[in-house]
Amino acid sequence: MTLLDKILSHNEKFVANKEFERYKTTKFPNKKVVILSCMDTRLSDLLPVAMNVKHGDAKIIKNAGAVISHPFGSIMRSILLAVYELNADEVMVVGHHNCGMSSLEPDHILTKAVERGIDRKTIETLQYSGVDMDSFLTGFTVVEDSVRHSVELIANHPLIPKDVSIHGLVICPETGALELIINGYAKKSTT
Ligand SMILES: [Zn+2]
């Protein structure tokens, strides 16, 4: 049985047994918060439990590294949607220690791509046509700096209203301990 088959067969039972009933909520986050974090599997359950974020409490956006690569990309759009359409009035960027994005090396990934059958010419063509592989496939060195950068990017975004608090945190993927990097309330009162 493939993983997909297993998921589909589990799902049939899940729906038939009405197990979904205890997850009833609305699309509006109860705690009026949007959280941007990393897709790391160690955080799947740990992060919400460690932050006391229950089902229905928050809009949670995840990618590799909790990074915003582009001010007009899909992550920023999701944050704007959460703010304007879903009543979120706080944003929390939550990076984590030992993140895979902190050791990302473009050459390493491209070598693996070639090993997996991607033609080197394809990569060269992309580079010649203006794709900057180095910045596309680069992560960050220090997670605290990356969180700070994302918080600044959101806070200074031309479409983010000034009454939204933008916080920055780093979570330990083993213990769930949070470290406050930027307190968005304090920042708001000084500006
Ligand atoms: Zn990560």
Task: Give the whole-number percent of the chain exceeding pLDDT 70.
Answer: 98
Mean pLDDT estimate for the chain: 95
Ligand 1 ion local residues (Cβ < 5 A): 38, 40, 99
Write out the binding residues for Zn(2+).
38, 40, 96, 99
What DSSP character marks residue 26?
-
Predicted pLDDT at 103: 82
189 — pLDDT class (breaks 50, 70, 90): low
Q: Which residues in 92-117 are b (16+ Cβ under 10 Å) and which e? A: bbbbbeebebbeeeeeeebeeeeeee
40 Cα: distance to centroid of ligand 1 (angstroms): 5
187, pLDDT greater than 80: no
List domains and CATH numbers for the chain.
30-98+141-190 (3.40.1050.10), 105-138 (no CATH)
pLDDT digits (tens, 9 = 90+) for 137-151: 988 999 999 999 999
104 — pLDDT class (breaks 50, 70, 90): confident
95 Cα: distance to centroid of ligand 1 (angstroms): 7
Tokens 């990618």 -> residue: 63
128 Cα: distance to centroid of ligand 1 (angstroms): 30
Distance CA 94, CA 140 (A): 14
102 Cα: distance to centroid of ligand 1 (angstroms): 8
46 Cα: distance to centroid of ligand 1 (angstroms): 13
188 — pLDDT class (breaks 50, 70, 90): low
